[in-house]
């Protein structure tokens, strides 16, 4: 009994001390807030005003999980995010009851056929199969963790038939032959951590028939690790193909071109979210990244707005020609289109010079990035559904469409978006943020800070440990396979035996009043009215 009384007294004293310190702390904060000169709210409402800043800080999370509807969130809505995760995790994306799309709003629709193709009529590679792991959902209770388990799953890879394969640089010594129309857009090692790049490389290789773009940060061992086909991007900073003085190195280029996995090179003139040179914060520039890029470690990197090696289209084409001759491999260019005139001039120069890229990556202004400025991301460069028809039309107008392939990118992370892009003129499609989600991205919007909470867009080893490569690589593969399967499903609904046959006549546009236009009519309006 005496021992119990002693503990009671000790507990009472402890609680009293805690309360005392709390009161002292509040009083101290009161006078600090009242005297500071930075925040008017805290001067007038000491201590209590701090609640405002607390809720302001956690506002994005509150909106993401509680207040935004399924279709409101940006850059990617909760609904779109969930569809990506379901494809990657469960290899399926079936919905019940009905669509959540607002059919009163204007938008594009895929024209269905009265006589769709049946599965047996689809023209695809029926031999190549892929075995991955997927989750089987057993039960999803309200208050405890969902019950699910991993199981192996074998399915077709849903690749194009050999006759329909997309060939880039057909006349070259080493053409790039692609049997899947969806690949990974440019994401550099440094912007993403080594575990994320490795998981993506291994997952894409597992899915077969696809590719990954290195981004302008140079080629790393992590890009190569899975054995997937590589498009090596070269930006104005020349990372990976420059000498110690920062000038272009033809020897370094030749060395890279000898790597069998590298199937093509891409000159990055611009990116949708940042029509300027790239940026990476110093915290992300580890010694390894500095060695790959040939820069100083732990110092922020800003590559120039443009290449110094060329100043106009003729000199650009000469540079492309020299790279092509030096490597024997296809060379493309990544652009953001700003006007009809720009697209027309590009195609005209290809026709007149007989030179130019083997492929053009058209990046829409809605594209993502690890770090950029708000005004560039919001207002510079046309969105993909405006830019893509301009480029396709210009190439056809000048009779050079057959020699140049088009890769489209800009929030094309669902099968219907991909199909519409193909109908608008794309041959292939790049996806970046969709793949980030497959390896764990939760849209924390901290890519630029090196503080990604799930270890994707960070080089911090303590944060990267959250990303388990052997689990996430399967999700990446599942996402690609599910997307390709859905593309064939959409093609069948449109009466086509393969998604390579999507054309402008297979898409219609409906306005808010219910009036419809064919894509050809929209196409013409975009071409005529674009400035």
Handedness of CA 255, 259, 262, 263 (dihedral sign): positive
d(CA 498, CA 163): 11
pLDDT confidence of residue 202: 97
Question: pLDDT of the chain along its 531 residues, tens only?
Answer: 566 677 787 878 888 888 888 888 888 888 887 888 777 777 777 888 787 777 777 766 666 666 666 676 678 788 888 899 899 999 988 888 888 888 889 999 999 999 999 999 999 999 999 999 999 888 877 777 778 888 999 999 999 999 999 999 999 999 999 999 999 999 988 889 999 999 999 999 999 999 999 998 889 999 999 999 999 999 998 999 988 788 899 999 999 999 999 999 999 998 876 666 666 777 777 888 888 887 888 888 777 788 889 999 999 999 999 999 999 999 999 999 988 899 999 999 999 999 999 999 999 877 767 666 666 766 677 889 989 999 999 999 999 999 999 999 989 999 999 999 999 999 999 999 999 999 998 888 888 788 888 999 998 899 999 999 999 999 999 999 999 999 999 999 999 999 999 999 999 999 899 999 888 887 777 666 554
pTM of the model: 0.88
Which secondary-structure segment (H or E) carries 167?
strand 166-168
| Helical pair 469-493 and 78-90, crossing angle rounded to 10 deg | 110
pLDDT confidence of residue 492: 97
Query: How is residue 186 written in tokens?
Result: 């440019």
pLDDT confidence of residue 445: 82
d(CA 450, CA 456): 9
| 478 CA to centre of own chain | 16
Let me know the angle formed at the C-alpha of 267 by 262 and 270, rounded to the nearest 5 degrees. 135
Residue 232 pairs in a beta bridge with 265
pLDDT confidence of residue 444: 81
Ramachandran bin of 381, using left for φ above 0, alpha for ψ from -120 to 50, beta for the remaining angles: left
User: What is the three-class DSSP state of 39?
Assistant: coil
User: What is the three-class DSSP state of 249?
Assistant: coil
Query: How is residue 374 written in tokens?
Result: 């708000």
d(CA 262, CA 176): 9
Query: How is residue 297 written in tokens?
Result: 């470690």
What letter does residue 116 receive in the DSSP assignment?
Answer: P
User: What is the three-class DSSP state of 41?
Assistant: helix
160-501: what CATH class? alpha beta
C-alpha dist (Å) from residue 454 to 78, 285, 369, 438, 451: 18, 19, 17, 12, 9
What letter does residue 458 receive in the DSSP assignment?
Answer: -
Task: Return the closest-CA partner of residue 337 out of 328, 325, 346, 329.
Answer: 346
Query: How is residue 484 written in tokens?
Result: 């390709």
Which secondary-structure segment (H or E) carries 38?
none
d(CA 403, CA 427): 12
Q: Which residue has the tokens 């969902």?
A: 146
277 CB neighbour count, 10 Å cutoff: 19
- H helix runs in 309-427, sequence order: 313-327, 340-353, 374-379, 384-397, 415-423
pLDDT confidence of residue 2: 65
Structural domain spans, the chain: 2-67, 160-501
pLDDT confidence of residue 42: 79
Task: Return the closest-CA partner of residue 214 out of 236, 237, 231.
Answer: 231
pLDDT confidence of residue 80: 86
d(CA 238, CA 309): 10
What letter does residue 242 receive in the DSSP assignment?
Answer: B
């Amino acid at each position: 009994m005496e021992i119990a009384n002693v503990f009671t007294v000790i507990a009472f004293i402890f609680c009293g001390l805690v309360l005392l310190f709390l009161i002292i702390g509040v009083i101290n904060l009161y006078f600090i807030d009242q005297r500071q000169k930075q925040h008017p709210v805290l001067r007038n409402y000491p201590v209590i005003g701090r609640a405002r800043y607390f809720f302001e800080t956690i506002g994005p999370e509150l909106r993401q999980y509680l207040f935004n509807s399924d279709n409101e969130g940006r850059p990617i809505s909760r609904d779109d995010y969930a569809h990506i995760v379901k494809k990657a995790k469960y290899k399926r994306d079936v919905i019940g009851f009905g669509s959540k799309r607002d059919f009163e709003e204007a938008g594009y629709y895929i024209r269905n056929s009265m006589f769709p193709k049946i599965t047996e009529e689809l023209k695809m590679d029926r031999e190549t199969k892929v075995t991955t792991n997927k989750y089987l959902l057993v039960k999803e209770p309200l208050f405890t963790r969902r019950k699910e388990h991993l199981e192996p799953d074998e399915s077709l890879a849903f690749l194009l038939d050999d006759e329909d394969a997309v060939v880039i640089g057909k006349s070259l010594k080493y053409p790039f032959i692609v049997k899947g129309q969806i690949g990974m857009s440019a994401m550099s090692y440094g912007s993403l951590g080594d575990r994320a790049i490795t998981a993506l490389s291994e997952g894409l290789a597992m899915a077969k028939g696809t590719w990954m773009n290195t981004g302008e940060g140079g080629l790393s061992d992590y890009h190569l690790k899975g054995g997937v086909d590589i498009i090596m991007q070269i930006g104005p900073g020349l990372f990976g193909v420059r000498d110690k003085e920062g000038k272009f190195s033809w020897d370094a280029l030749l060395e890279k071109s000898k790597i069998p996995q590298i199937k093509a090179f891409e000159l990055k003139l611009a990116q949708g979210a940042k029509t300027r040179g790239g940026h990476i914060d110093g915290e992300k520039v580890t010694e390894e990244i500095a060695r790959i890029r040939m820069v100083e470690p732990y110092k922020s990197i800003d590559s120039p707005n443009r290449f110094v090696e060329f100043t106009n289209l003729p000199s650009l084409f000469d540079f492309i020609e020299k790279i092509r001759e030096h490597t024997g491999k296809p060379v493309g260019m990544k652009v953001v289109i700003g006007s009809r005139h720009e697209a027309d001039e590009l195609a005209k120069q290809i026709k007149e010079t007989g030179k130019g890229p083997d492929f053009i990556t058209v990046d829409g202004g809605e594209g993502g990035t690890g770090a950029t400025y708000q005004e560039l991301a919001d207002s510079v460069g046309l969105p993909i559904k405006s830019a893509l028809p301009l480029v396709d039309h210009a190439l056809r107008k000048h009779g050079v469409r057959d020699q140049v392939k088009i890769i489209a990118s800009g929030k094309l992370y669902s099968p219907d978006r991909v199909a519409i892009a193909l109908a608008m003129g794309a041959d292939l499609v790049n996806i970046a943020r969709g793949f980030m989600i497959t390896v764990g991205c939760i849209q924390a919007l901290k890519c630029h800070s090196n503080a990604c909470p799930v270890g994707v867009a960070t080089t911090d080893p303590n944060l990267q440990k959250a990303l388990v490569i052997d689990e996430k690589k399967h999700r990446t593969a599942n996402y690609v396979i599910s997307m390709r399967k859905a593309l064939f499903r959409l093609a069948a609904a449109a009466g086509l035996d393969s998604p390579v046959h999507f054309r402008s006549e297979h898409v219609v546009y409906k306005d808010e009043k219910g009036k419809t236009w064919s894509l050809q009519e929209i196409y013409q309006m975009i071409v005529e009215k674009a400035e």
